[in-house]
Amino acid sequence: MIVPDRYVKAGNSIAGGMGEVHACTDRHLDRKVVFKVLKNGEENRRLLDEQKALLQLRSKHVVQLYDVVEVVDGDIKKPALVLEYIEGGALARGQYQVGYEFLEIIWQISCGLSEIHKAGIIHRDIKPSNIVLDKSGVAKILDFGLSRNSGVDAHTISAIGTPNFMAPELWSREAVSFDKSVDVYAFAITSLVLLKGIIFPGELLEFPPRSLGAHGLSVVLRGIPEEIIRLLERCLARSPADRPSMIDVEVLLRKHLLYNKHRALLVVDDKLHELHSGAAVANIIINPAVSISIKYDGLKFFVSALSGLIYINNIAAVVGAELPACCVITIKVGNSRKFVTFDVSNPEVLS
């Protein structure tokens, strides 16, 4: 293969399902890159779909497209994608045990998919081999050869994808339209596949897959927070409309990864009070008849006790209500009002 003068081949080619991947060096920027070229006889549309998707994406968890060039393969000129070179390996089946590291890696995948969907793209082939972990431990989603624009060309007349990772609606013998929820389903299957030593639910191994029974993942995912188990079960719902968005998935995983790491500040009469795992309850007592208690359970801040007329952002407070990350608590005392500001810090999950 002959590449443009700016680049020089830096390794052997690797044949994939739809094309060949070549390691090259960008001599202008002195960095390694990857050339992706279709095999002879493959439709160029597959490559162009990937190009179209990647041009719209800028995410830490999605492989970056640098350029589109023309190469000469034999006597044939072909377009090629110049992609980010990722020094690392693809995720593998059974790579993780139940625990923080597993939740952190699927959170990273959910971040990438959230960005992909935000750009209006359906990946359509999410699976471990299409997710690479770089040397810094950052997961990156690649291979957009089956991707489609959401709502524009999201339809198929035959089952295309990887069996076991394909949502039930993709198995129809007739023309079907699909949406981002096919990626949500594949994300949940990928999450299960990454775990070591689990007994895979038999319903999900059939073609097409059947619906899970009630609490179908409780035994399989023992040791994972119940709220996350229920969410993954929803991701595997037979009806696309019953699956959550990837943003919902990312938010919930992030919340659990930050367990006991949140801090909140309350300002009462110009005095600053801090609420965190080491000081999990704050009591604001105006008089014996008017008070509010706020508690931190490691995941959220909520009203644990209440008396009198108290409002949170102008909405009447009730016991059990979760406080927004930034709000004003208004306490009515006779004909007057007292204001308490409440702010939650924004810790980040590092990847």
Residues 106, 253, single domain; the answer is yes
Residue 174's pLDDT is: 78
166 plus 94 within the same structural domain? yes
How many domains, in total, are found in the chain? 3
Domain identity same for 219 and 118: yes
Tokens of 186: 């594949």
Residues 6+ apart with CB under 8 A from 160: 124, 146, 170
Q: Which residue's entry shows tokens 């810094």? A: 136
The whole-number pLDDT of residue 44 equals 74
230 lies in some domain: yes
On whether residue 2 sits in a domain, the answer given is no
From 36, 60, 84, the end of a domain falls on 84
Question: At which of 67, 84, 101 does a domain end?
Answer: 84
> DSSP states of 140-185 as a string?
EE---TT-EETTTS-EESS--S-TTTS-GGGG-SS-EE--THHHHH
User: Is the same domain home to 243 and 268?
Assistant: no
For the whole model, what pTM was predicted?
0.89
pLDDT of residue 155: 64
Cα 177 from Cα 170, distance rounded (Å) = 8
Q: Hunting for tokens 């750009």 — which residue is that?
A: 119
* Strand, coil or helix: 244: coil
The answer to the question of residue 350 being in a domain is: no
- Verify that 222 and 201 share a domain, yes or no: yes
Q: In terms of domains, do 319 and 279 share one?
A: yes
CA 159 to chain centre: 25
Q: Residue 153's pLDDT is what?
A: 58
CATH number at residue 66: 3.30.200.20
Residues 75 and 93 in one domain: no
Q: Residue 297 falls within a domain, yes or no? A: yes
Return d(Cα 121, Cα 66) in angstroms, integer.
18
67 and 156 housed in the same domain: no
Answer whether 21's CB lies under 8 Å from 35's CB: yes
C-beta atoms surrounding 206 within 10 Å = 11
Q: Which of 275, 295, 279, 278 is nearest to 344 (CA)?
A: 275
Q: Which domain holds residue 46?
A: 7-84
Handedness of CA 317, 319, 322, 328 (dihedral sign): positive
Are 204 and 280 found together in one domain? no
Last residue of a domain, one of 55, 84, 113: 84
Same domain, yes or no: 123 and 247? yes
Residue 94 lies in a domain: yes
Say what the pLDDT of residue 158 is. 63
Domain assignment of residue 1, yes or no: no
Q: pLDDT (tens digit, 0 to 9) for every residue of the chain, 351 residues total?
A: 899 999 999 877 776 656 789 999 999 999 999 999 877 666 677 777 778 778 888 899 999 999 989 999 888 888 889 999 999 999 999 999 999 999 999 999 999 999 999 999 999 999 999 999 999 999 999 998 888 887 655 666 566 789 999 999 999 877 788 999 999 999 999 999 999 999 899 999 998 999 998 889 999 999 999 999 999 999 999 999 999 999 999 999 999 999 999 999 999 998 899 999 999 999 999 999 999 999 999 999 999 999 999 999 999 999 999 999 999 999 999 999 999 999 998 888 877
What pLDDT score was predicted for residue 15?
A: 64
Give, in degrees to the nearest 5, the angle at Cα 341 between 337 and 344: 155
Q: Which residues, at least 6 apart from 315, have a Cβ–Cβ distance to it below 8 Å?
A: none
As a dihedral over the C-alpha atoms of residue 147, residue 152, residue 157, residue 161, rounded to 10 degrees, the angle is 20
CATH code, domain with 252: 1.10.510.10
Which residues fall within 8 angstroms of residue 126, CB to CB, at 6 or more apart? Answer: 109, 113, 141, 165, 183, 186, 187, 190
> Is residue 351 situated within a structural domain?
no
Same domain, 189 and 203: yes
Residue 281 lies in a domain: yes
Instruction: Check whether residue 54 and residue 99 sit in a common domain.
Output: no
